[in-house]
Chain A
Amino acid sequence: MGMTVAEKILARASGRDSVRPGDVIEPRVDLAMSHENGALVINQFLEVYKDTGLEPKVWDPGRIAIIFDHRVPAESAKTATNQKKVRDFVGAQKISKFHDIRGDQGGICHQILPENGYVRPGMVVVGTDSHTTTHGALGAFAFGIGATEMASVWTLGSVLNVEVPGTIKVVINGEFAEHVSAKDLILHIIGKLSAEGANYKVLEFHGEAIHRMPTSGRLVLCNMSVEAGATAGIVPSDAETLRYLHETAGVTGQVDIVQPDADAEYEQVVEIDITNLTFQIACPNGVDNVKPIDAVEGTKVDQIVVGSCTNGRRDDIAAVAHILQGRRVADGVRLLVFPASWKIYQECMAHGYIDDLVKAGAVVMNPGCGPCLGVHEGALGDGEVALSTTNRNFKGRMGNPKSEVFLCSPAVAAASALAGHIARPKGEPHGQPARVETEAGCLEAW
């Protein structure tokens, strides 16, 4: 019987010919990622070695990635001390994929991994971050784990006691209407499935709309798959995957792609035609509280955030800059833009997007997680409302339980910044061409 992409990857990684949902395996790990929470992983790792008489040594320093992104530059002495501890450990263990707080190499972990070519199709990727699902966009099996589980991976090089998850096939057909994007699609899917609809499952994306979608859009789909509870999201690798790896991520040499078998068995098939899909908004306080924009149009907002591991990529910022170009953010609204990496920041500068944004009144912040998790900058006041291209709107997520967060696409964020309230993008300003230059040279799915 055929296998899904996840089953194929997990079979290979556990040295078997095949696996079935429910099998318990110990897959070898190709890439293990942490961020600032590496400080906690280090504690647990040293705990494993305690009283063993063995010298603590990670299984493979070349397969560990550590990226500082959650609180950069450090917002407190405590964070700075944790970062220092991680830096010392990285040096002592000779961990090779380390991205410090630097303009020539830094950014959000879920952007740094793809843009540096660290992720390839067929890999098993684990990360101490729930949005590790992002990397399924490049055909890997990538999932979030806790710090203690990572300490176990650092010790043994495999994940213990993994149950092979069943796979839900999500088939996307049709074409996006103008300005409607991958973010609207994944919000729509999460609304349909619910916040736990894919718990312990994999979402495998198929369909003509996925084939045409650039990697920047696929990353959005897989990033937010975890918001439906999914263990992983996967786009089977194809020509676009190879294009991204070779052209954007600088990967040289042969890359093998992994496709599901024609007779693979899926637990469920969800089919969606996006032709009539409109802008989607996740309303407070749940990512699955999704409504079409009509339901909340006109809602006054105080702060708009563009960025994060979901929508902080060049195509996202290009979409926003294009709508804002030559216009002004409405009075009474703060627009904060934080590119997902310094590489993206530089590209946006080169294309003039940063200039467009600043002239329109946006505050462009340093790449990193920024206000996304309510711990660093861009906090909300009591009773304030934010509209954000990030991925979570749980109560208190942006640092203040007395505030509310709505989630949207970059285009809706830009149109709303001009209006001062939740608004839909309407046509193109100043008769500009309807197409923006995107990474893959096509418009669908920023």
Chain B
Amino acid sequence: MANLQESKPRLVVSKLGDDISTDAIYPGRFMATVLPTETPKLAFADDTELNAKLNSRTLPEGSVIVAGRNFGCGSSREQAASCLRGHGVTIVARAFARIFQQNSINLGLPTVICPELEADAGDELVIAGDHVWNETKGTKFATVPLPAARQAIIDAGGLIPYTRKRLLESRA
């Protein structure tokens, strides 16, 4: 989870259900495309509306996709995280699948676990400390913090700089 201490409201651009698979986020037929500069345009390629919205370049900065439980289940394909990261969105879900969440942490895609979250597209959320505030509905929901070990990767700027640091330490 990103370390988000803020008061600026973020727009919910889409509300998704439970068990959104990585096949839905990034269809398998695009797996030969790997560059993080090329994956974003294919995010949710089979969901024409959401894909168009993400690619419209009109999303306010820090926009949010909200989802139910088990977001990112299925394949380990990292494109599912890199394609969303490229759009600068934050994912707030009731729960994430393990590999997807680890990939998000490794690549710097902000994810927030919020087990009781209620929010709809068009709502404005404030993510602050250990809560998500739904400003539109006037409701507040607790978030689940990441274990310190995973937070350390985020704090280092992702797994690549984290690994590079460890590599240099090991050679020092």
The tally of residues in A whose CB lies under 8 Å from a CB in B reads 53
Scan B1-41; emit 1 where CB is below 8 A from any A CB, else 0: 00000000000000000010101100111011111000000
Is B95 an interface residue, CB under 8 A from the partner?
yes
> How far is B107's CA from A195's CA once the two chains are assembled, in angstroms?
25
Min C-beta distance of A289 to chain B, whole Å: 10
Is A442 an interface residue, CB under 8 A from the partner?
no
In contact, A156 and B97 (Cβ under 8 angstroms): no
Is A347 an interface residue, CB under 8 A from the partner?
no
Scan A138-166; emit 1 where CB is below 8 A from any B CB, else 0: 00000011111101100110001101000
Please judge, given known A-B contacts A161-B152, A196-B95, whether A39 and B167 are in contact too, CB under 8 Å.
no
The dominant DSSP class at the A interface is loop
Is B137 an interface residue, CB under 8 A from the partner?
no
In contact, A52 and B164 (Cβ under 8 angstroms): yes
Is A118 an interface residue, CB under 8 A from the partner?
no
Min C-beta distance of A415 to chain B, whole Å: 28
**B-facing residues in A357-396 (Cβ within 8 Å):** 373-375, 392, 394-396
In contact, A155 and B99 (Cβ under 8 angstroms): no
> How far is B160's CA from A175's CA once the two chains are assembled, in angstroms?
49
Name the B residues within 8 Å of A231 (CB-CB). Answer: 98
Is A299 an interface residue, CB under 8 A from the partner?
no
* Nearest neighbor of B81 in chain A, beta-carbon distance: A146
Name the A residues within 8 Å of B138 (CB-CB). Answer: none
Is B171 an interface residue, CB under 8 A from the partner?
yes
Name the A residues within 8 Å of B152 (CB-CB). Answer: 161
Instruction: Out of B77, B98, B106, B167, name the residue touching A37 (CB < 8 Å).
Output: B77
> How far is B106's CA from A43's CA once the two chains are assembled, in angstroms?
14
Name the B residues within 8 Å of A70 (CB-CB). Answer: 31
In contact, A156 and B24 (Cβ under 8 angstroms): no
Scan A398-418; emit 1 where CB is below 8 A from any B CB, else 0: 010100000000000000000
Instruction: Out of A40, A196, A375, name the residue touching B69 (CB < 8 Å).
Output: A196
In contact, B76 and A128 (Cβ under 8 angstroms): yes
Instruction: Out of A47, A146, A163, A374, name the residue touching B76 (CB < 8 Å).
Output: A146
Which of A50, A152, A374 has the most chain B CB atoms closer than 10 A to its own CB?
A: A152
Is A266 an interface residue, CB under 8 A from the partner?
no
Min C-beta distance of A192 to chain B, whole Å: 16
* Nearest neighbor of A399 in chain B, beta-carbon distance: B29
Name the A residues within 8 Å of B102 (CB-CB). Answer: 145-146, 149
* Nearest neighbor of B30 in chain A, beta-carbon distance: A375
In contact, A44 and B27 (Cβ under 8 angstroms): no
Is A346 an interface residue, CB under 8 A from the partner?
no
* Nearest neighbor of A286 in chain B, beta-carbon distance: B19
In contact, B46 and A156 (Cβ under 8 angstroms): no
In contact, B167 and A156 (Cβ under 8 angstroms): yes
Is A303 an interface residue, CB under 8 A from the partner?
no
Is B170 an interface residue, CB under 8 A from the partner?
yes
In contact, A37 and B19 (Cβ under 8 angstroms): no
Is A430 an interface residue, CB under 8 A from the partner?
no
**A-facing residues in B34-65 (Cβ within 8 Å):** 34-35, 46
**A–B complex contacts, Cβ < 8 Å, 13 sampled:** A49-B167, A50-B164, A130-B75, A145-B102, A148-B107, A148-B158, A151-B159, A155-B167, A161-B150, A196-B73, A374-B29, A394-B74, A397-B23
